[in-house]
Amino acid sequence: MPAPTPIPARPSTRRARVALAGLGSLGTVALLLAGCAPYERDQQLIDLVRRGELGEARMQAVERSNPNTGDRDYLLDRYKIVALSLADGVPESSRTQRERLYDLLRTQGLNKDNTVGSFILGEGNARIWKGEPFEQAMAYCLIGAGDGIRGDWGNVRAAANNSLFLLRDFSGSLNGRSSSSDSLAGQEAVRRRVIDAASDDAASTGGDAQPFAYTPIASDFELGYVLKALANRAMKDTGELDETLATLEKVAPRLGDFAQTIRTGDFNCAVIVDAGFAPRKVRTGPGGAIAAWDAAFGSTPDDAPLIVQAFAGDWQDRRTFPVITDTVRLARDLRWNNLEDLRLAKNALGDVAIVGGAVMAGASDDRSVQLAGLGLVLAGLAMKSTSGADTRHCELLPQRTYVALLRLPTSDEAIGGTASTPVRLRVQIANRPETALLLPAVPRPRSGNIDLHYIRLPETGQPWQTADTVRYANDAAATSAAATNPADDLTPWILGGRCVRTPTDASVARMHAAGILTSLSLRDLQDLYREEGIRIVGLDDAGEFGMHILEGGTWLFTPAPGSTGFVRLFSQDHGPYTPRSARVRAIAEDLARTKASSDRRD
Amino acid sequence: MALWAAMLAACSAVAACAPTAGTTRLGGADIAIDGPRLRQTLADAPYFADRPIRPRTPSPTADEMVIVARELENRSNDRLSASDRWAPVALLINDSGVRAFLNDRGVRVMLPPEDVAQVRALGIDVPEAPSMAPTHTLTGVVRTITRQAALVSSVADARKDVTLVEWTLTDVRTREVVWSGRTEFARVARGVVAD
């Protein structure tokens, strides 16, 4: 019995299947291409930081962050939130995120179990982002700065210590050439030399050689040594201080004078000043498999010093400080880049070469070879997309960091007024007036203490940056320049005054002593804020909080007085408050009538 | 020296003990103070050996020994939260053996009044105590010794941190150290350190 003749599929059905298969393949490729696209810098966040709109920036960073701890960008999201809250002068608003960031930075082998993701997206693109070594080092210092603002020098020292991990020196593979290059082509060449040297080693030893030959060397991360030395100085650990400063002078001889200032201890205030933006991580080389850093998308490095002027009454001081750390230098140096990127690039370069050869075969006249070629073209596209280097990076990282060391009048010195006379600090990068920032109410350090402040310099010259005035009475400055009479500084802003202090027994007592709202108790005042939907940091927060009421938010707090956030919030007018509740509206109207009649009498 | 030897031995034994932790950062469960040993060192200290057993009276007396316990100073290689710095202090002063020993000698232990609210907010039990001028201070310094090794891969993939808490009891008036003790605990982690 003859075998039944197979019924041929109807041409239309067959075409449909082929079309479906083709679409499926293309769809898969499209998905892979989309999933593995180069990282897009968050330009909106960069612009907000550039303008000093750090409250808005930190809220956007929070909204865009993925709360899923397994997300591959989880750490990167946390990094941005922590950086922005510190810059906004409210490090405690991201306390939990900061602890999480630190925990994950300290966690080993984060990417050991992502096999499925690696299969689909390619190994590089499935990894949980932990940052390049220099990004990790900067993150540790950022965390340490948050601790330092609270005077927790033990934790500053620990964070700085963690930033000073060993680096990998590839001098052997580079035959004495520099591991750093200013140009993309130069960086690619450096990486290819190291990859080629590893390939040669593997070939000569039958593939059993270690992937890359390097020597562990001590870190040259200036900022880590500076923070550690400051902590040593604050904790009076002179033994470790000498050792740390000796290392700093060795890795950065240009900072010799700066190191000497720390050694002599002639300062009681340290100000960390971040400015500019780090370069962009890009794909170079065949298939975009090699990662390099393009400074054209960040800020241009230069040696311009930081000028800091301090004023208190008739006392003043002016000093200049050098750039401590330039992230462009770190980014361009292979020693500060991931070994993992090199390993993946080495594999990807091999894959791209294989697929390229196969695609050439696909150009044959033979139909079956052509079909195989089509599959390989698709595979090639997919592989090309997944072989591209992982270009995720923290675009909010500063281009440069300064540390200013100042000897300010202490709270028990009569220099420049009394203890309650705050110090004004003017900070600016030399020849860049758009970066000038005037901090109008920096508290005086207590005798024997070292205070730490953190500033992120805006760079668009907003009027508030140099307004040199406090427009609202707050927890750090009891009087405002905008008050038309003393009562304004004692009357809450939500009731028509200029006071955005945290309500306390003392603030209510001062209000009553001035004859303002004498029937209102502390509890009543707190209830008024609650009726308006306003929450008070320290009283109503669970560790994280949003924007200030002056900027349309629902939170009442005072940022650190030595921060950009403090200046933006209190050195400009925000207009009157519009009450939401009938009770607050009634009290505010009543106060306004009383004030108007009082003004008429006067 | 013995500690260093122990560290090296432990580092080489890391592969065999197959730890699961990915971090050596201290967690609450890691903190153990070995109360019986510390109680014994207190008993062996000449200062306490010479001090007669005299149960604490309900109300303070003029010659009473009053110890004020301070938050630990962090000189370790890791950031420590406030609760991490108070927990060992609370464990020490609340250890039943140590507490009984001090009670038997009429010693009161209290926290600085300015810190009580913060410590309670951390969830650490602080007994009510009258505010009295301290005669002694109990301080502690946390230090760590860190070692890294490449055991499985070509890069550092194992880390061990030995944490030491050095306790000191000082006479406020004479600045004499009347007792010192030490607590240590260790954590080991595996996985590529840079990753």
Mean pLDDT by runs of 10 across the 602 residues of chain A is: 45 48 48 65 96 97 93 95 97 92 90 58 71 96 97 97 91 83 89 81 58 84 98 96 98 97 97 96 88 83 95 93 96 88 70 52 59 58 66 96 96 79 94 97 94 97 95 92 86 96 94 93 96 92 87 96 97 96 95 81 66
SS3 state at A231: helix
Q: Provide the residue type at A102 as one letter.
A: Y
Do B191 and A107 lie within an 8 Å CB cutoff? yes
SS3 state at A282: strand
Give contacts of B77 with chain A, Cβ < 8 Å.
158, 161-162
CB of A551 closer than 8 Å to CB of A566: no
SS3 state at A107: coil
Do A155 and B74 lie within an 8 Å CB cutoff? yes
CB of B80 closer than 8 Å to CB of A154: yes
CATH topology of domain B2-13+23-52+63-190: Rossmann fold (3.40.50)
What residues does each domain of chain B span?
2-13+23-52+63-190
What's the rounded Cα separation, in Å, for the pair B148 and A40?
36
What's the rounded Cα separation, in Å, for the pair A466 and A166?
42
Q: Annotate A314-374 with DSSP letters as a single string.
A: TEEEEEEE-EEEEHHHHHHBGGGS-HHHHHHHHHHHHHHHHHHHHHHHTTSS-HHHHHHHH
What's the rounded Cα separation, in Å, for the pair A144 and A153?
8
Give contacts of B156 with chain A, Cβ < 8 Å.
166
Give every CB contact of residue A590 below 8 A, 6+ residues apart in sequence. Answer: none
Task: List helix spans (H) across A150-205.
Answer: 153-163, 171-174, 184-204
Q: For position A292, what pLDDT does the model report?
A: 92
Nearest alpha-carbon partner for A558 in A567, A264, A108: A567
Q: Is B192 on the interface with A (CB under 8 A)?
A: yes
Do B77 and A162 lie within an 8 Å CB cutoff? yes
Do A106 and B24 lie within an 8 Å CB cutoff? yes
- Give the B window 7-26 contacts with A, CB below 8 Å: 22-25
Q: For position A356, what pLDDT does the model report?
A: 52
Nearest alpha-carbon partner for A223 in A270, A276, A191, A176: A270
Q: Which of A107, A108, A136, A241 to mutate to test the interface with B (most CBs of B within 10 A)?
A: A108
Residue A270 pairs in a beta bridge with A405, A452
Q: For position B191, what pLDDT does the model report?
A: 84
What's the rounded Cα separation, in Å, for the pair B33 and A251?
40
B190 vs A109, A154, A237: nearest CB: A109
CB of A476 closer than 8 Å to CB of A483: no
Joined tokens for residue A39: 């990282």
Q: For position B12, what pLDDT does the model report?
A: 37
Q: For position A367, what pLDDT does the model report?
A: 65
A302, burial (CB in 10 Å: exposed 0-12, middle 13-18, buried 19+): middle
What's A432's DSSP letter? -
What's the rounded Cα separation, in Å, for the pair B40 and B181?
10
Measured in whole angstroms, how far is the alpha carbon of residue A41 from the centre of its chain? 13
Do A103 and B23 lie within an 8 Å CB cutoff? yes
Q: For position A352, what pLDDT does the model report?
A: 53
Q: For position B18, what pLDDT does the model report?
A: 37
- Give the B window 97-136 contacts with A, CB below 8 Å: none
Give contacts of B154 with chain A, Cβ < 8 Å.
210-211
Tens digit of each residue's pLDDT (9 = 90 or more) over B47-90: 988 877 777 666 666 678 899 999 999 999 999 988 889 989 98
Give contacts of A106 with chain B, Cβ < 8 Å.
23-25, 78
Give contacts of A136 with chain B, Cβ < 8 Å.
194
Give contacts of A158 with chain B, Cβ < 8 Å.
74, 76-80
Task: List helix spans (H) across chain B.
Answer: 2-12, 14-17, 35-44, 46-49, 82-94, 96-104, 113-121
Give contacts of B73 with chain A, Cβ < 8 Å.
154, 235
Measured in whole angstroms, how far is the alpha carbon of residue A511 from the centre of its chain? 40
B23 vs A107, A147, A159: nearest CB: A107
Give contacts of A133 with chain B, Cβ < 8 Å.
194
Tens digit of each residue's pLDDT (9 = 90 or more) over B99-115: 999 988 889 898 888 88
What's the rounded Cα separation, in Å, for the pair A248 and A255?
8
Nearest alpha-carbon partner for A391 in A284, A278, A291, A287: A291
Do B22 and A111 lie within an 8 Å CB cutoff? no
What's B117's DSSP letter? H
Checking A120-123 for CB contacts under 8 A at 24+ apart, the result is A120/A32, A120/A35, A121/A32, A121/A35, A121/A36, A121/A386, A122/A36, A122/A348, A122/A383, A122/A385, A122/A386, A122/A387, A122/A388, A123/A344, A123/A347
Q: For position A285, what pLDDT does the model report?
A: 86
A108 vs B74, B80, B192: nearest CB: B192
Task: Tell me if ipTM is over 0.85.
Answer: no
Q: How many CB atoms sit inside 10 A of residue A28's CB?
A: 14
Q: For position A10, what pLDDT does the model report?
A: 47
Can you give the C-alpha Rg of chain B in angstroms?
A: 19
What's the rounded Cα separation, in Å, for the pair A50 and A63?
20
Q: For position A339, what pLDDT does the model report?
A: 74
Nearest alpha-carbon partner for A123 in A133, A132, A113, A131: A113
B193 vs A108, A159, A161: nearest CB: A108
CB of A32 closer than 8 Å to CB of A386: yes
Do A237 and B23 lie within an 8 Å CB cutoff? no
Rounded to the nearest 10°, the torsion over CA A527, A533, A536, A537 is 150
Q: Is B76 on the interface with A (CB under 8 A)?
A: yes
Checking A97-102 for CB contacts under 8 A at 24+ apart, the result is A97/A544, A98/A143, A98/A146, A99/B81, A101/A75, A101/A139, A101/A143, A102/A140, A102/A143, A102/A159, A102/B25, A102/B79
Joined tokens for residue A178: 């520099």
Residue bearing tokens 């110890």: B67
Q: For position B60, what pLDDT does the model report?
A: 64
Task: List helix spans (H) across A252-318.
Answer: 256-264
Whole-prediction pTM value? 0.86
Q: For position A288, what pLDDT does the model report?
A: 86
